[in-house]
Amino acid sequence: MAATESTTTSGSGSSCSTDSGPGDGPLDALLTAIGWLPGRQGVPSGAAPATFLAAPPTPAAAPAAPAAPPAAAKPSSSPVVGRIAAGEPRVRLICLPQAGGSAGTFSSWRGHLPPGFELAAVDLPGRGTRGAEPLPAGLGALADRLADALAPELGMPYALFGHSLGALVAYELAVRIERRGLRPPLALLVSASRAPHVPVTARVSGRDDQALLAWLTAIGGIPQDLLRYPAYLRHALRVIRADLGLAERYHAPDPVRVRTPLHVFGGTEDRLVPADQLARWSACAAGEHTLTLLPGGHSYPYTGAPAVLAAVAALPALAQENPQKEAVR
């Protein structure tokens, strides 16, 4: 069955100059291929039999108008971009990216979705389709905004998945969902992140571009092919730096223990967040919690998408809600 796309792309507030000019074919092709789109948002084609799904109903879009200054831009009605499902969706997987990431970061998952799962990847403010929206000064304020915006997405069984910075955001989002009495997630899945109560030991957001880029390269946090586009890279580093600052300012000395099952994931070769650090998430769980290590470094969710999605689909709460007999593609 052919994939049908129902999302529109937007460059409002997210345009940037590149060495070959905006809309440069090779750069756009690279960004689409790797799904690493902090400044542009492209939606790659999904692999059959996956199907792009429409976002929750919204009023018809008005004809395109000249770009307004960022201060005048209004938040998007939904932060979910390019949702896609494998067959009839039974479980929605709401995914939050790492520092500098966007909804497009999860593009490598689209061809490996287990049957019955919907991928609902989130664009945070300051990138992709939400490039004109300022990033909140604190992670708590960001979680508040997401809890408001994602409320319509919680009508079906769902799980929250957050990678690196996204793990901290997913945790705070789960806390707010519980406090507001909203439908709780089947599971909270946190990946490659320090636990909320663990202080930051090394701050990198204040480093200059060269030093920050060296650090990102060392942890495998940036695609090497982007080094060929220094102007775009400078733009991307601004987004990454802002996100890292947000993460570095966040600390919850006495974390709330979430009632939803908490499953922690990490890469066996991740030097940034090794297994002993991942184990400290147990202090955030009121009940069921597990720790799973999968092959790869800090970017293992994207380099090893099939293994990650297979592990997610096998979690008891998700498997019970989505009893599928087909093998993961």
First to last CA, the chain: 15
**Tokens coding 266:** 């990490």
Instruction: Count Cα neighbours of 83 within 13 Å in the Cβ-side half-sphere.
Output: 19
Among 163, 235, 263, 298, the one annotated catalytic: 298
Among 78, 164, 191, 299, the one annotated catalytic: 164
**Catalytic residue list contains 299:** no
Instruction: Count Cα neighbours of 146 within 13 Å in the Cβ-side half-sphere.
Output: 29
Question: Taking a C-beta distance cutoff of 8 angstroms, is the pair 213, 229 a contact?
Answer: no
**Tokens coding 191:** 């990946």
Helix ranges (H only) for the chain are 25-34, 139-150, 165-180, 209-218, 230-249, 275-278, 300-303, 305-313, 316-321
CB atoms within 10 A of CB 69: 8
**Catalytic residue list contains 298:** yes
Question: Taking a C-beta distance cutoff of 8 angstroms, is the pair 212, 218 a contact?
Answer: no
**Tokens coding 198:** 């663990």
Question: Taking a C-beta distance cutoff of 8 angstroms, is the pair 302, 97 a contact?
Answer: no
Which residues form the catalytic set?
A: 164, 298
